[in-house]
Amino acid sequence: MKDFREMKRRGERITALTAYDYPTARLLDESGIDIILVGDSVGMVVLGYEDTTLVTLEEMLHHTRAAARGVKNALLVADLPIHTFDTPEQALATARRFVDAGAQAVKLEGGTSHVPQIEAITRAGIPFMAHIGMLPQNVREEGGYKVKGRTQSEAQSLIADALAVEKAGAFSVVLEIVQAETAKQITKALSIPTIGIGSGEHCDGQILVTHDLIGLFPWFTPKFVSPEARVADEIRRATRAFIERTRNGSALSNIQS
């Protein structure tokens, strides 16, 4: 495992993307990404659920096994899905199942409220990535994906969360949709790196859902993402070309030879 604290100290930015299958994980790994996350975002961008709250442990383990087969150099982190870490004992048992599936580290959503779960995982020697700010597993209670850390009291409570997860042994912390100035303050307050998603430029690294980065989920793109490719358009183009050449008979020579 790379020394992510040392990267922070040197001012070297950390790069992270999601993958849920073998080819994507292998392509990201071969491209030199530092961290690959098997995120529970798989529920939305691959499985077609409305949000991440329907993702099951078995689904996450299945995708973790597939991604693990494609990774040689990056750190493979897996997300603990909702209600698989309600107690410290359950969190540790779930984390162990991900390690058995090929993950090298695990992540769960929560700050101060989840310190006992985080400590159970880190004390067992399993590397742990924290996740604070907007927590997608709470989207139903919160009524949407809202920016966190806008008010003084929200900023203070996020800083307290960040310090608590660092103390509990996290090696890094994802800051999701945190107001940029608050993300900067958290980044300064910690010795572990912050990995931002929609949280401005002052984090020690950045993470994105790969489908957003490459334009593979064209029906919704978060405001903070600038896609680098339009893979959905390419799929549509190739599909139409195949339909066309099959219908007019020009594909037959390919099929026979």
Residues at the interface with ligand KIV (CB under 6 A): 18, 37, 39-41, 79, 131, 174, 176, 197, 207, 209
CB of 79 to ligand KIV, least distance (A): 5
Q: Which residues are known catalytic residues?
A: 176
Helices (H), 49-114: 57-68, 88-100
Please tell me the distance from the alpha carbon of residue 37 to that of residue 107, in angstroms, as a whole number. Answer: 9
8 Å CB contact between 29 and 36: yes
Residue of this chain nearest to ligand KIV (CB atom): 39
- The DSSP line for 63-75 is HHHHHHTT-SSSE
Looking at beta carbons only, is 221 or 257 nearer to ligand KIV? 221
**Residue 249 backbone zone (phi > 0: left; psi -120 to 50: alpha; other: beta):** left
Provide the pairing of β-strand 172-176 with 14-18. unpaired
CB of 129 to ligand KIV, least distance (A): 9
Looking at beta carbons only, is 225 or 244 nearer to ligand KIV? 225
CB atoms within 10 A of CB 140: 11
CB of 116 to ligand KIV, least distance (A): 21
Looking at beta carbons only, is 169 or 205 nearer to ligand KIV? 205
CB of 146 to ligand KIV, least distance (A): 15
**Residue 252 backbone zone (phi > 0: left; psi -120 to 50: alpha; other: beta):** alpha
CB of 67 to ligand KIV, least distance (A): 12
Distance of CA 125 to the CA centre of its chain: 21
Please tell me the distance from the alpha carbon of residue 145 to that of residue 31, in angstroms, as a whole number. Answer: 30
Looking at beta carbons only, is 82 or 120 nearer to ligand KIV? 82
8 Å CB contact between 24 and 211: no
Please tell me the distance from the alpha carbon of residue 224 to that of residue 160, in angstroms, as a whole number. Answer: 25
